[in-house]
Amino acid sequence: MSAVEPSTKRAGLAMRAVGMLLHPGETWAAVAAEPIGVGELYRGYIAPLAAIAPICGAAGLLLFGASIAGIHLKPSLGATLLGAGLDYGLTLIAAYLLALAVAALAPAFGGTGSRIQALKLVAYAGTATWLAGVFALYPTVGFPVAVLGGLYSLYALYLGLSPLMRTPPERSLTYFAVILFAVLLLALLLRLGTGFVR
């Protein structure tokens, strides 16, 4: 391994993230043809970007606390770090579970059920959501920006259905609606799961 390799990987991550934010439609064509394994995708893209929101959110809570209905709360260091670690771990699991759902549903909509293509779709579509996690440093701003990032990620996911999952364009909207239902169900289940742990 050369000394140049890590910075090249970081540059590749940055270029892919910029591509997904500025012109996702064009970026999907490159992503579809790109050979990559699950481990490499997790190490090189999902794990670093998924860490942004938990790290920034924990820092924001420790620095500014949280306000609920005018009541200011300052959580403990241990609870904040535990929550951030739990959120990070669940995000990594959720990405994989959503990719499995996307792959399993694809044949029903005329697409191909490739798990690696589905994971690429989920990973790269999530770029805006994960980068919006930077704004969690200031909790008051973090939530609205996270919502906007989530909406843009859904738009990017929709654009990626035909190139990656080979879904006919006329069936992409229905496929997207079913995936959206799966996203909401998965988010609800994970939120319920974290409620029992915290």
pLDDT given for residue 8 in this prediction: 52
Q: Which residues contact 97 (CB under 8 A, 6 or more apart)?
A: 186
Question: Which tokens belong to 22?
Answer: 């500025």
How far apart, in whole angstroms, are the C-alpha atoms of residue 125 and residue 155?
A: 8
Residue with the larger pLDDT of the pair 39 and 10: 39
User: Where residue 144 falls among pLDDT bands split at 50, 70, 90?
Assistant: confident
List phi, psi (to 5°) of 177.
-60, -40
For the chain, state the CA radius of gyration: 18
How would you class 6 by CB atoms within 10 Å of its CB: exposed for 0-12, middle for 13-18, buried for 19 or more? Answer: exposed
179: pLDDT strictly greater than 90: yes
| 15: enclosing H helix or E strand | helix 5-22
| 71: β partners | 68
Q: How open is the CA angle 115-128-107, to the nearest 5 degrees?
A: 25
168: pLDDT strictly greater than 80: yes
pLDDT tens, residue by residue, 72-121: 667 778 888 888 898 899 999 999 999 999 999 999 999 998 999 999 99
Average model confidence (pLDDT) across the chain: 86
Residue ranges covered by each domain of the chain: 5-197
1: pLDDT strictly greater than 60: no
For every residue of 67-79, DSSP letters joined together read EETTEEE---HHH
Task: Answer for the pair 130, 124: CB distance below 8 angstroms, yes or no.
Answer: no
| 122: β partners | none
52: pLDDT strictly greater than 90: yes
Three-state SS at 66: strand
